[in-house]
Amino acid sequence: MSEIYSFQVTTIDGQKTTLEAYKGKVLVIVNTASRCGLTPHYQGLQRLYDAYKDQGLVVLGFPCNQFAGQEPGTEEEIKEFCNLNYQVSFPLFSKIDVKGENAHPLYTYLVNHTPGPYRTGEIEWNFVKFLVDRKGHIIRQYSARTEPDAIEADVQKLL
């Protein structure tokens, strides 16, 4: 079993769980923010999720306030913002740090285990995307500016 499934996470509603629930799925793991110039990526992520969830894609959103304070809200405010503005139905989790000494272990793992040419060694901004295959292997890291539509072909290959 891939290590990725053992990481403990907390849903946006405060429930502790692990990523085990997503075993066998293709994952797009993304750090999100509600007040960022890239916030419209929520729309593209939701479109991807809607298009491929029945084939086994799950988008996992992890709000983060580490970049210019662009995610200042509470979990309830984040959830409401996402529902009202982007009709987000993919899983969202509680706010975490994605870099630095308090980085969530999942993000430390993602950054350190992305293969070769796709590893940047950091999370440079909001909306960095990681693509994970059905066996829990990290396939690729995409920069924050990579539009969700631009990763669709890679998602399709894994489904």
Identify the pLDDT of residue 40.
96
Tell me the pLDDT band of 116, cut-offs 50, 70 and 90: confident
CB 155 within 8 A of CB 45: no
Q: What is the mean pLDDT of the chain?
A: 96
Identify the pLDDT of residue 1.
52
Number of alpha helices (DSSP H) and beta strands (DSSP E) in the chain: 4, 6
3-class DSSP state for residue 60? strand
117, pLDDT greater than 90: no
User: Tokens 């509680």 sit at which residue?
Assistant: 94
Domain ranges of the chain: 3-158
* Structure token pair of residue 57: 């894609």
129's enclosing H/E stretch is strand 129-132
- Mean local confidence (pLDDT), 114-139: 91
Tell me the pLDDT band of 121, cut-offs 50, 70 and 90: confident
139, pLDDT greater than 70: yes
Please identify every residue annotated as catalytic: 36
Tell me the pLDDT band of 83, cut-offs 50, 70 and 90: very high
Residues 3-158: name the CATH superfamily. Answer: Glutaredoxin (3.40.30.10)
Low-confidence winner among 16-20, 74-78, 117-121 (lowest mean pLDDT): 117-121
- Mean local confidence (pLDDT), 58-81: 97
Identify the pLDDT of residue 120.
79
Identify the pLDDT of residue 16.
97
- Mean local confidence (pLDDT), 63-81: 97
